[in-house]
Structure 1
């Protein structure tokens, strides 16, 4: 609707600017707010990069290789982020792990302007599904907030139950709205496609396993094993290297089994 390159550049700029403001933050509130904006920028960047890849490379081996490289680079970025973040935090300041994104983002913007082709057309007359976006966002935020309230207030606490109820109702309303929207954010017909629901289920399970694991491992290494920031970053290397290796092997596996398996 707005152009792939344009969306990518806006997401990149949003991430870089929020990193700058967060790195210079003088209060926890500003830092937390900028981290939220960073997340928004990253949420824009991730699908934009995949869209650019899938439209640049034709379906087949070339696209599979491109997506595998994208996955490997993402995993390598995780490893580099842990190591570099540990070095910067231990030797300089935690602010540097945010400020380092600014020059990287500036270089990425210049490279995108030079290398990415200009958007050729924009879809006219298509409207954003604002109700669907609001309901989906509200539902997920309410569910996450409800889960976080279970620790201090218990699962039967009013704050926990109210948040979970709002989340469930918002997501139910989202499904209802999508079934009736003229331009739905998530067309219901996509859910019935096997590659879509199977892929999303796999990603949901993978995220449910790996994201909490990274969080708790970080706490364990620093609070129980008393590792420093650098040692904690190094401690994540085996997991990250396995992820990179798996991403490198993915094209060969997909070539043998086919993308639908």
Structure 2
């Protein structure tokens, strides 16, 4: 991507925090082209010097000053990275000093703390939620009494990835049910779902986008035909309206936004891990 501004997510841990925050920052600059790279586990001076050389070289090749989003806890490593000549954004810096003043305590740097297994109960909750999402995917199992969320929608509307995200990041037991042609022949919920109506959230999608997604899966099939997509989406939307089910279009929504909307609508307040 010649001419794109290089941006690096550098960390002496996984780099997940730096990348997550960095991506959020970049969404505010949609007219600028970026080429991003994550550099995790930069936890020795030797690795830091190599990273600094690579960052400097990328800037020279692009003819643009690189940007580094850093979550390096080790200050010696942070200083070496700063020697790359890049604009370094330390994600901790704006917050540490105010917190130290407020708490009356100095920081105790710990690499990898943000994504470590701090609480085994919450860790096992997420693992169990992931197993639940996988065993209750696409209506495979219909015993929903333990479900916290049931995502409802036509095939390929984004139900499975949302269930996996809810399980992995929030420890929520999420199932999903795909509306079949038989289900769509009526404007009511399928009988097997009615006892769980208070757990249901609907996902819809623009027919053109659904057509595109299905074409990638089954090219030129009846399943992927635009007319099929339009008919299924229209019938599903009738069910959502008739039953008063909360619904969100996934066409332009990120999985993070979809998940947050689902939790808000169903009144589930769960910490993000």
User: Shorter-normalised TM-score: what interval?
Assistant: under 0.3
**TM-score, normalization by structure 2:** 0.25
Larger relative contact order (C-alpha < 8 A, sep ≥ 6)?
A: 1
**TM-score, normalization by structure 1:** 0.25
More strand by proportion, 1 or 2? 2
More helix by proportion, 1 or 2? 1
